[in-house]
């Protein structure tokens, strides 16, 4: 890993460092009541996010194509959407614990990306040389980022079912209901999950003459969609506890992680068109 780190671009190192600093800030913030310790990590996380944006933009220019092709590129983009969603959620719901959790997640994604680093930039095959590639990937990664953050708030709910005291929140409210936060983020993620599925079907039809090829990744995309659809319906069962709802979201996030990373382990993956190259 040190060898990989040695050869990465300066911008990658800077981004990683900033995310690490944000994480340190959040860790301190968990134990400190001052408003200062709520703002500093948030500011650091925002700067790290901007550095990550520059990293992606630079890659886009260097490669001369959207940087969503290789596993490494997709991991960096996943870190980017997760940071974006986390920053928005922290701002909107005034909870710094969300930033704390996501900065752990993002730092881990970045370290993982380091081990999957592309030494060479791969050119796009004909199927990926289309504008449809961009909205499909962006939809999915926004959804994944949002649902990942929803998974974190679901964990927060399980840990702190009664909500949290005000000193961990940045706003005026005295308690934060993580179950409701989870629902609102999940809803957003689900919308983009649906849009990503639609855009994928449309693109698949143009590229491979097939809107649905029963490809394992497509099937798992459907499975994750069904789990989150089930979550939305579980909410209509009055006696279904909020604790169980949180677990449904966590299972959904696990399914996303499997969809994203686990395809190589499936016997049906041999024919898949979605398995990442490189790494």
Partner 1 sequence: MAETNTSSSSKNPDYQTRGFKRATYLLAAMVTFTLLAQTVYEWFGGSWVGALASVAILAAYPALFFKSLKRTVDTPYFATLSLLCIAVGTAVGTFISQNAPADVFIQRYGESASKALWFFHFDDVFHSWWYVGFFALLAGSLLKTSWKKKFNRENLGFHLAHLSPILILLGFWVDYFYGFRGIIKLETGQSTNIARVYRGNTNYVGDSTALPFRIRLDHFEFEKHDPDYRIQVWKNDTGPHAQPAADGHGQQMGGTPEIVASMPLKEARIRHIYGTDVYFRLNEFFPNFTFEYTYPEVNDTVEAKDPGVLLNLKTPFGQADVNLFSNRPGRNTIADEQHMGGWLEFYWEAPENLNRALKGQVDAEWAEVNRTILIGAEEQIYYLVDGQLSNEPLQAGKFYTFPNRKEIGFTMKYLYPDAAYLLSTPTSDGDELLNPVAKVEVWHKGGTSQEAFLYPGGRRGGVFQVDGTEYFLALESFKDMETKYYRSEVSVLDDNEEVVKSRPIVVNEPMLHRGYRFYQSDYNPENPSYSGIGISHEPGLYIIYFGFTVLVIGCALMFYGRYRKVEGLV
Binding site for partner 1 (CB under 8 A): 2-4, 6-7, 119-127, 129-130, 132, 180, 183-184, 187-188, 190-191, 194-195, 197-198, 201-203, 205-214, 216, 219-220, 222-223, 226-227, 229-230, 233-240, 266-268, 271
Give the whole-angstrom CA distance, residue 207 versus residue 128: 8
Q: Answer positive or negative: Cα dihedral of 178, 175, 87, 159.
A: negative
- State the nearest-atom distance from the C-beta of 168 to partner 1, in Å: 22
- Nearer Cβ to partner 1 (68/220): 220
Using alpha carbons, select from 138, 122, 124, 59 the residue that is nearest to residue 279.
122
- State the nearest-atom distance from the C-beta of 123 to partner 1, in Å: 4
For residues 22 and 105, is the Cβ–Cβ distance under 8 A?
Answer: no
- Nearer Cβ to partner 1 (104/198): 198
Q: Answer positive or negative: Cα dihedral of 88, 104, 51, 145.
A: negative
Which residues lie across from 169 on neighbouring strands? 95
| Residue 193 burial (CB count, 10 A) | 25
Longest dimension (CA), the chain: 58
- State the nearest-atom distance from the C-beta of 220 to partner 1, in Å: 6
- Nearer Cβ to partner 1 (70/83): 70
- State the nearest-atom distance from the C-beta of 160 to partner 1, in Å: 19
- Nearer Cβ to partner 1 (53/180): 180
Give the whole-angstrom CA distance, residue 219 versus residue 267: 13
| CA 167 to centroid of chain Cα atoms | 27
Sequence-ordered list of residues with C-beta below 8 angstroms from that of 236, at least 6 positions apart, any chain: none
- State the nearest-atom distance from the C-beta of 267 to partner 1, in Å: 5
Give the whole-angstrom CA distance, residue 224 versus residue 153: 18
Sequence-ordered list of residues with C-beta below 8 angstroms from that of 273, at least 6 positions apart, any chain: 127, 208, 213, 215, 217
- Nearer Cβ to partner 1 (60/211): 211
- State the nearest-atom distance from the C-beta of 159 to partner 1, in Å: 21
- State the nearest-atom distance from the C-beta of 197 to partner 1, in Å: 7
- Nearer Cβ to partner 1 (39/184): 184
What the block records as the tokens of 120 is: 């060479």
Give the whole-angstrom CA distance, residue 26 versus residue 32: 10
- Nearer Cβ to partner 1 (29/216): 216
- State the nearest-atom distance from the C-beta of 263 to partner 1, in Å: 9
- Nearer Cβ to partner 1 (30/237): 237
What the block records as the tokens of 93 is: 């719901």
């Amino acid at each position: 890993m040190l060898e990989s780190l040695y050869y990465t671009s300066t911008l990658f190192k800077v981004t990683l460092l900033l995310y690490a600093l944000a994480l340190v800030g959040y860790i301190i913030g968990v134990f400190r009541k001052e408003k200062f310790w709520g703002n500093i990590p948030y500011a650091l996380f925002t700067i790290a996010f901007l550095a990550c944006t520059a990293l992606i933009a630079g890659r886009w220019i260097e490669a001369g194509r959207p940087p969503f092709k290789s596993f490494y590129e997709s991991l960096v983009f996943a870190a980017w959407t997760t940071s974006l969603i986390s920053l928005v959620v922290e701002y909107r719901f005034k909870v710094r614990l969300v930033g704390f959790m996501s900065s752990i997640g993002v730092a881990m994604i970045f370290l993982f990306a380091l081990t999957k680093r592309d030494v060479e930039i791969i050119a796009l095959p004909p199927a990926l040389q289309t504008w449809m590639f961009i909205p499909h990937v962006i939809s999915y990664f926004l959804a994944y980022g949002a649902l990942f953050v929803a998974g974190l708030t679901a964990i927060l709910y399980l840990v702190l079912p009664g909500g949290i005291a005000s000193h961990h929140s940045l706003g005026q409210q005295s308690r934060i209901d993580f179950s409701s936060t989870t629902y609102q983020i999940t809803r957003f993620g689900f919308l983009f999950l649906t849009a990503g599925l639609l855009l994928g079907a449309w693109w698949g039809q143009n590229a491979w003459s097939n809107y649905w090829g029963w490809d394992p990744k497509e099937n798992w995309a459907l499975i994750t969609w069904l789990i989150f659809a089930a979550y939305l319906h579980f909410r209509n069962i009055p006696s279904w506890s909020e604790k169980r709802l949180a677990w449904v979201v966590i299972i959904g996030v696990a399914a996303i992680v499997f969809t994203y990373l686990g395809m190589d382990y499936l016997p049906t993956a041999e024919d898949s068109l979605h398995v990442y190259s490189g790494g």
